[in-house]
Structure 1
Amino acid sequence: MSIAQVLADSGDNRSLIKAFSTMTSLEDGWEPLEFPKIERYSRYRLVEDDGEQVVEATTDNSASGLIARVSVEPGESLTLRWRWKVSNVFEQGDARKKNGDDYPARIYIAFEFEPEEAGFFERARRKTVEVVFGEELPGNALNYIWANRLPKGDIVANPFTETTVMVAVNSGSQRVGEWVTVERDIVADYKEAFGRKPPKLAGVAIMSDSDNTGESATAWYGDIQLIRP
């Protein structure tokens, strides 16, 4: 079944993430994810590939994404399943370094902020951002990445912030140009990354970025499924 499913805490099987294969436009269930001080945005469009509609992402010294806003209790187990393909990895890509923190393809899972787990200065910083920009920031995040140097299976903190953890689900150029299917247990990954159970999911995003390395790549994203076992 290619239609993405998100089973909400109520268990009513209602889809909360719009499947790319069923979208009539990029605004149909997803919205742009853009960042301050980034002047060049990656480009996203719906295309046909191997008989199915997917999202094509092109990044060229740029960064931005597409995000589906959700509010889902993860429970004891929550499976994320998707397929993707990339044209190349980045020669300068390195998940452990700020100047290498770029990926031809990544899936970003944002969780709700947990104020009881944050220190005073973090809470103050977030409140300032909310007042200035009028938007509440998410809490911790998991990033599932197609890495360059980071070995497949490794989990490391993002070089810019410890609230974001990078999980290498593919690595290197061995399967470049092929569709690859990935499946992860979000709850298990969050526990390994942060040492506790996850709060509610706040969003699921795709992102192809190259603003730190200045390189370029194209990625294709198939339907993303969020499924209770």
Structure 2
Amino acid sequence: MTGRRATLALPLAAPLAARAEALDPRLAEAGWRLQGVRGRAVAQFAWDEAGFVRITARDSVGFLLRPFPGPAERLGWRWRVDSAAPPSDAALRGADDRSAAVHVLFAAEGPLSFMRRSLTPEGMAGRGLTYCWGGGAPGRRLPNPYAPRDGAVIILRGTEAPLATWLEEVVDVAADYRLAFGEAAPAVTHLALSADTDDRGGLAVARIIPPRWQ
């Protein structure tokens, strides 16, 4: 890996920093950890006994991250949005808010330098695919505006998607990686969930049943 690949795979707004805020202990026990964006209010994540993660983002952004090792395969999950973020454009820095997203993060190719290892949060040094609810029309695929060589955004649901309704997704991670980067996908290392309303403001409330390999 060269220095180019050392960009964070999760960067939809700014460099990420680990947060010290208390996380719902049930999420922490399950291996999740919270990542915030430096200088921005942090979205809230909570575990519900019904089996889903509830995300609340009011003028804020945040990522819930956990190890998720395995080969790139078909990935499925269910999600719903109860309060949608304002319309946004996933292609534009500073305008790329979204009601919810699922991020699939991949192994970095080659070793990182000592400095990069010390500065880069675990799991964020390789490439990443971001599956969005919000940010444009469904089916739109584009480079991540913050890491165009190492990140790709795929919009699954747009403003037409019904609110307060569970919807099911199944994505072909291997095929999406090849379309985005022109080569076979390396192993998956981490999974992240997020919501983002720090640019255009407003409130997004979403629920996600954590993804599983199909």
Band of TM-score, shorter chain = 0.7 to 0.9
TM-score by length of structure 1 reads 0.74
Q: 1:58 aligns with which of 43, 56, 59?
A: 56
Deviations for 1:69-128, whole angstroms, at most 9, x for unmatched residues? 133133xxx111000001233324110111211111100101011249xxxxxx7xx653
* Structure 1 residue 188 displacement after superposition: 0.5
Count of residue pairs brought into register by the alignment: 190
1:33 alignment counterpart = 34
Higher radius of gyration, 1 or 2 = 1
* Structure 1 residue 133 displacement after superposition: 5.9
TM-score by length of structure 2 reads 0.79
Distance 1:108 1:57, change over 3 A: same
Identity of aligned residues (%): 22
* Structure 1 residue 164 displacement after superposition: 1.2
Please tell me the root mean square deviation across aligned C-alpha atoms, in Å.
Answer: 2.4
Structure 2: segments with no counterpart, 5+ residues: 1-23
Secondary structure at the aligned position of 2:174 is classed as helix
Distance 1:218 1:134, change over 3 A: closer
1:88 alignment counterpart = 83
| 186-195 or 216-225, which deviates more | 216-225
Deviations for 1:186-210, whole angstroms, at most 9, x for unmatched residues? 0001001111101111101111121
Cα separation, 2, equivalents of 1:39 and 1:91: 18
2:203 alignment counterpart = 216
Cα separation, 2, equivalents of 1:109 and 1:70: 9
Secondary structure at the aligned position of 2:94 is classed as helix
1:98 alignment counterpart = 93
Contact 1:89 1:173 in 2 (8 A): no
Cα separation, 2, equivalents of 1:81 and 1:133: 28
Distance 1:223 1:128, change over 3 A: closer
Which protein has the bigger strand share? 2
Cα separation, 2, equivalents of 1:53 and 1:68: 16
1:205 alignment counterpart = 192
